A = this chain, B = another copy of it.
Amino acid sequence: MIPSPEEPGRASGLIPRDSSLPNLEFPFRDLNSRVTTTASFYVRNHFPTPPLTAEDWSLTVGGAVLHPLRLGLEELQSLPALTLTATMECAGNGRTFLSPRPRGVPWELGAVGTACWTGVPLSAVLERAGLPEVAATWEVVLEGADRGVMTEPVASPGEISYARSVPLAKALDDVLLAYEMNGEVLTPDHGFPVRAVVPGWYGMASVKWLTAVQVVPEPFQGYFQTVDYAYWETRDGLPPQLRPIGPLQLKAAIARPAPREVVPCGVPYEVTGAAWAGEAEVARVEVSVDGGCTWADAEFIDPPKPHVWRRWRFLWQVPGGPVRPTLLARATDTHGRVQPTCHDPARGSYMITHPLPIEVDVQESSP
Contacts and interface: CB of A to CB of B under 8 A. Distances in A.
Contacts of A66: none
Interface string A210-244: 00001010111111001100001010111111110
A66 B254 CA distance: 50
Given A155-B348, A227-B227, A232-B157, A239 B163 contact: yes
Given A153-B154, A227-B227, A240 B218 contact: no
A154 B157 CA distance: 17
Interface string A321-332: 000000000000
Contact of A237 (B214, B218, B232, B346): B214
Nearest to A163: B239
A226 B214 contact: no
Contacts of A221: 241-243
A88 to B, nearest CB: 22
Contacts of A355: none
Interface string A122-159: 00000000000000010001010000000001111110
Contacts of A141: 238-239
Nearest to A62: B237
Which of A154, A222, A237, A242 has the largest number of chain B CB atoms within 10 A? A242
Contact of A222 (B62, B137, B157, B239): B239
Contacts of A219: 219
Contacts of A218: 137
Q: Is the interface of A mostly helix, strand, loop or mixed?
A: loop
Which of A62, A214, A227 has the largest number of chain B CB atoms within 10 A? A227
A190 B158 CA distance: 37
Which of A143, A226, A243 has the largest number of chain B CB atoms within 10 A? A226
A223 B236 contact: no
Contacts of A223: 232, 239-240, 242
Interface in A150-196: 153-158, 160-161, 163
Given A157-B345, A158-B345, A160-B240, 5 more contacts: A157-B234, A214-B236, A221-B243, A223-B242, A226-B226
Give 9 nearest A-B pairs by CB, closest first.
A157-B232, A221-B241, A157-B346, A226-B242, A163-B239, A221-B242, A157-B240, A222-B239, A153-B154
